[in-house]
Structure 1
Amino acid sequence: MVHRIEQERRRFEQQRRLIYRIAGVLGVLAILYAQYSNLIDTHLSYLYRAVYAINHIVFASLCVLIVWYLARQRISVERLERLMLVVFTLQSLGFNGIIPAVFLPTPAEMFIDAVGDDIWFLLIICILAIHIYDIRRGALIAIGVFVASFAVVLVQVVRWNMLGVDMANSERVVSIYLMAGALLGFLIILSVYRAQAERLRVEYELMTNIAYTDALTGLANRRRLYEELNRLIASADRHGQGFCVCLFDLDYFKQLNDQQGHLVGDQVLCAVAKTVPQHLRAVDHFGRWGGEEFVVLLPQTHVHDAQIAMERVRLALHTITLPNAPVISASFGVTEYLPGDSSEAILHRADQAMYVAKTSGRDQVVLHGERLEAWRV
């Protein structure tokens, strides 16, 4: 479970790195286009154009640096995201808020600027804050940045209202920010619901994993094996697909625990849990029945094929080498499903065959009925 989570985390981090590299390249292209528009817009003052030209150079250089660091993997994604949030916040408050309010003298120009990119850039920052931090802290940062940006706009709008300048466009700018605020609130609510749903999903998976997994070996436990067995029985009754069940017990395991201690015994159990699946099919089910007993369920398998498979597993156990542990062996009992069998009936037959294997020499695979009559006599 932990290994799978770590794999998912690494894969997700690689995806994030790729996305940010693509975003960095697109960001450079967008900045180049913005600088081109800045150069050809001759009605703006030289000071305004110079300030934005310097900003574009710095911002484009930062994008190139981010792409390079991501390609070289010299910075963690989490650290990069926090750096981006700080830079974007300063960019939004400064070059999408304060500077335009100072240099753009009319509400119409400010309306065009807000519709063009200011409000969208601000919302991207707010979404990034919600993504990076926990929902409460992210929401506070997002709301704080939005309120600060909106305050700059309101100050300018109030000044225009006092001067009686272009009231229609002033109202439009305020309306745009109010709609963006409503969208931000909606995104925060969705983030809260998503966080709660994700927490419940993770808790459910953890509870399921605990309920159906053997704590020591990480294999399916008895409850999971019973479910899989009943599923195979239902499939066999419905579609006529036979299967086999094998119970095997490690030989002399009690003596090993008594002589070497439970720590060595646990190491043996974990080694068996790791070795056996390497010699089974992907469709087979393998789990710990309890103590030193294990169960293998073999779907769509004839009894003699199951015998061959278990013989392969028996020999594989001999290859396990552990300090302070003797050669590992096991006694196997194999049986096949018969029409009308219950889970208890088929497990009882497998257990009988395993008992025959143990009482007639150990370290062998016995089919139910193969030596059972001779053993009873």
Structure 2
Amino acid sequence: MQSLPSHNRHLNTSSVSPRLFRRLLIMAILGFSAIWAIDFSSGLISPFDASAYPICILAFALMYILNTVTKLNHQSLHFITYFIVAGYLTSSSMWHHSAPNGQFSNAAQWLGLNYVIAYLFLEVKKAAPTTIVVFTVTIIGHFAVLIQQQSFNDTMGVVLNIAIAHIIYIFLLWTVIRLRIKTDKAAARADVLENYAYIDLLTRILNRRGLEKVFTELNLDAEEQKQSYAILVVDIDHFKQVNDIHGHLIGDKVLSHIAAKLSRVIHPNDVLGRWGGEEFIVLTLNRTPQQVITLAENLRAGISLLKIDDIAGITISIGIAYSSEANTNSDVFTLADQRLFAAKQAGRNTIRSHD
């Protein structure tokens, strides 16, 4: 845990998770099955729907299986599922508008779902051109069907009504999506600013404020979830000499390389941060004292092998304290800091703990 968790927001992706997608597929299967059963039992089912319903149900079932057992791109499955629905709704409306299948049928009233589903299932960057294609096919298809049996004026009246209604659908949905994108972008910027507040920009690890936040969030002092932990205070030996001899730019480079090395050595669940200056903090959870000492030795040995430009022989001193030695993490830190001082007094490049 070397940085604070952030909220992942994908501004150009669908908001439908794999689990929600499966639920929607189940709802589609049940919905189509119910309508099929009702139309069949009432004797109102059309020849088109008698064939289309089972095909759609089987297609939804296949999408469910593919979403569950394969590693196919979920956006591709969303896209295919969308065209199953859009294809059925558009072709059904066109069929019902053709003679002698029930001209001016109310099947067209469902066509608005084509645009709602597009912005629900698809990425925003794909939903916009997709709705334009579906809109174009819908208008041209209905015109081609109606002109065969109606006058030009009657055909244009129906087609224009459909077109106006669908343009309103698309405009309103696009407006909602734009508002959502703006909201997501604002939230993403807030996340970035929050991240900057808790991350040390030089070393790209937690800063002092970030460490304090993580300590608070872990609630280390809570009696009901008391957990074992150790705090390691790590300090670069003679770092002032590096700045004095080589300059602060090289000193910054040394800090960055040491932070990167510490990050590679600790466990992913450990917390690493820069407390200030040349001092770093490692919080490690649920390790035995021997494991903590081993970690500290690995940190010390790893740093001693570093060569940064012409600088070699860099060493660190480490003070260690354990949760069993104090009642609060603040007291544990103070104890670790005292032991760091003892390590410095003992000649540096060494480790001090309770044993």
TM-score (norm: length of structure 1): 0.56
1:237 aligns with one of 208, 214, 223: 223
Contact 2:319 2:337 in 1 (8 A): yes
Identity of aligned residues (%): 24
Provide the residue aligned with 1:305 in structure 2.
Answer: 291
Matched, 1:200 2:186: yes
Once the two structures are superposed, the pairs formed by residues 118-267 of structure 1 within 5 Å of their partners are: 131-132=124-125, 167=154, 169-234=155-220, 237-267=223-253
| Secondary structure, counterpart of 1:338 in structure 2 | helix
Once the two structures are superposed, the pairs formed by residues 212-361 of structure 1 within 5 Å of their partners are: 212-234=198-220, 237-338=223-324, 341-361=327-347
Contact 1:303 1:335 in 2 (8 A): no
Which residue identity does 1:256 align to in structure 2?
V
Give ranges in structure 1 of 5+ residues lacking alignment.
Answer: 13-105, 371-377
Contact 1:248 1:293 in 2 (8 A): yes
- CA-CA distance at 1:202 after TM superposition: 1.3
Once the two structures are superposed, the pairs formed by residues 59-70 of structure 1 within 5 Å of their partners are: none
Change (3 A) 1:176 1:281: same
Partners of 1:179 and 1:309 lie apart in 2 by: 67
- CA-CA distance at 1:235 after TM superposition: 6.3
Q: Which has the higher helix share?
A: 1
Deviations 1:45-84 (A, max 9, x none): xxxxxxxxxxxxxxxxxxxxxxxxxxxxxxxxxxxxxxxx
Contact 1:247 1:351 in 2 (8 A): yes
- CA-CA distance at 1:123 after TM superposition: 6.9
Partners of 2:263 and 2:239 lie apart in 1 by: 20
Deviations 1:186-229 (A, max 9, x none): 22112212211221121121012101100100001111111222
- CA-CA distance at 1:131 after TM superposition: 4.6
Which residue identity does 1:188 align to in structure 2?
W
Aligned Cα root-mean-square deviation (Å): 4.6
TM-score (norm: length of structure 2): 0.59
Partners of 1:203 and 1:163 lie apart in 2 by: 54
Which residue identity does 2:252 align to in structure 1?
D
Partners of 1:253 and 1:196 lie apart in 2 by: 46
Partners of 1:235 and 1:186 lie apart in 2 by: 51
| Secondary structure, counterpart of 2:308 in structure 1 | coil
Structure having the higher Rg: 1
Give aligned pairs, total.
258
Once the two structures are superposed, the pairs formed by residues 21-170 of structure 1 within 5 Å of their partners are: 131-132=124-125, 167=154, 169-170=155-156
